[in-house]
A and B are shown apart, each in its own frame.
Chain A
Amino acid sequence: MRCAARARAFAAAGALGLAALGCEAGGPRARAESAALRRQAEALHNLLAAVDTDQAFSSRRVTLGIGEPLVRDLLQLALPVEADSAPDLHVRLETAEVAFENGESRVSLRGRVSRASAPATFADLTVHGGLHRFEVGAAEGHVTARVALDRLEVRQAEAEGLRRELVEAVIERLGQPTLESLAAQIPPLAIPLRFERTVELAGRSVGPFQIAPASLRLRVGVAQVVALSGRLWVQLEVAAAP
């Protein structure tokens, strides 16, 4: 009898130890943040090494520093975006926030998820992602980027008081396809800067001197993008086309 009690006591101690460890740890959100921080640290280490070897912020590249407010305002122009996620969930994203720090461009889109059949039942939602696929458009010469969404967060505090199963359903059912569908509705973000691919010089005669009309073709491409100090630093390769 005493042995059984001891065994129970040991088992209880083990369970308590487990509970203590569990309490100290941070859950899925902490895990995601930790993974993001690991990614950022690695990116920053790489950038520091790249700056020292003239691979980042290189003296051979033109730098564009694009501020957060401009990108936020442009992104806001593309909103709202909406998506229906079966069964019975409707997502509408309305406001945008961006942050360009620590080597990462972060995009947060806020909105609501509601029952399609009962729009009054809703929870506030934030979808997180970033900017990617930077390029200089071949036709227009604009610097463009796409928004990728990879994580959603139901803001529990504001969802409290609502039916618990809604929050659970949102977390369970709004998966990657919904995020991709929302991101696909956001058109490429075009920074209102245009690269002229051809520079032209008109001919001119001054006295006996003449200069013939000529043109110079340029090649422009995005070499690297670094998010730092509240700006996206876009490194461009610019060279005369052969």
Chain B
Amino acid sequence: MRSVKRGLLVAGLLFAGGFAYARFWWGPGPEALEKQRREVRELSARLERRLRERALLRDGADAAVLVGVPAEVADRLAADTVAGLFSGMRVELRDLRFRKSDEVQARLLLGKRSVGRFALSVHVREVSARLHPGRPRLRFGEDRIAVTLPVTVDGEGAARVRFKWDGRGIAGAVCGDLDVAHEMTASVPSRSYSLQGSLRLAVDGPALVATPEFEDVELTVPVEPTAATWRYVEELVASRGALCRAALGKADVESKLKGLLARGIKLTLPRQLVERPLRVPLAVERTVALAGRSLEVEAQPRDVIVTPARLWYGVALALRAPEPPS
């Protein structure tokens, strides 16, 4: 009886030991392995499906390298690029002349008569304006990237104002002729413009190149005299006699000068200034060296695809032994 018990115990121990060995040490059986493999396949397929649904993955059978740039990254990099590379835009204008002359009439005792003629000329010696690009807005889609770039223009300048007054009749007698000149400083009041265009994308050899294309933008650079200039005009008028002041008041030098300069300087922002090809800073190397051996890399660009979420481009690569020197 004791032998039977001992036998049972040994059998039980052997079985339990075997089970533990098989379960925890010896490893799973074929069915358990197949179940694990199936789970991994299913999870992998689910992940791939989810990534494709969101266009986060792309096929490119013959492209050794695919590059995906999300719209959010492109937007951020475009803003950094504009801020970093296009912040030093200026326009320098010299020797511009504005002129306005007119007859000044006033109602006198004998009816409306000419009291004089004025000639106002402004010689803008220089205007220096800065173009401040704002944050560009990129819109991905339809195989292109649309760009809106806000630009603000401001600056300062220097000019010489000349005012000639040729008094007529009574005004001429009491006022005489005037020919005064004044050096003035001026500011270019801030104005904003919106440049509309797109980024043309092309794979150029080993790199993707983005070239901005914009429509022509007409800019007006107004010039505004400083307070010192207005004080000068006021003092000029105030220093004359009453009749003369009345005649000059009719001429309204201040508003004429304002009107003349407010017309501003018309300019067209040249496309060549901003239409500069920008190489995306990721390029294929022409050679690759490893373990003392060197191979040439031949790069063939593949399609550039723009989806609302991402820009994709691919490059097919072939590694070749270099041609022996002839």
Contact = CB atoms under 8 A, between A and B. Distances in A.
B260 interface: no
- Give the size category of A's interface with B: 35 or more
Complex A-B, nearest 5 residue pairs according to Cβ-Cβ distance, in ascending order: A7-B7, A18-B18, A14-B11, A212-B88, A31-B27
Interface in B20-46: 21-22, 25-30, 32-33, 36-37, 39-41, 43-44, 46
A197 interface: yes
B290 A37 contact: no
Interface string A19-37: 1011011111111111001
B40 A44 contact: yes
Interface of A: 3-4, 6-15, 17-19, 21-22, 24-34, 37-38, 40-41, 44-45, 47-48, 51-52, 57-67, 69-70, 73-74, 77-78, 101-103, 142, 186-187, 189-197, 199, 201, 203-204, 206-216, 218, 228-229, 231, 233, 238-240
A62 B69 contact: yes
Contacts of A6: 3-4, 7
Nearest to A21: B22
B281 A218 contact: yes
A214 B77 CA distance: 15
B3 to A, nearest CB: 4
A90 B1 CA distance: 60
B29 to A, nearest CB: 4
Nearest to A68: B64
A210 B92 contact: yes
A31 B27 CA distance: 4
Contacts of A208: 91-93, 267
A206 B68 contact: no
B17 interface: yes
Contacts of B106: none
Contacts of B27: 25-32, 34
Interface string B270-286: 10110010110111110
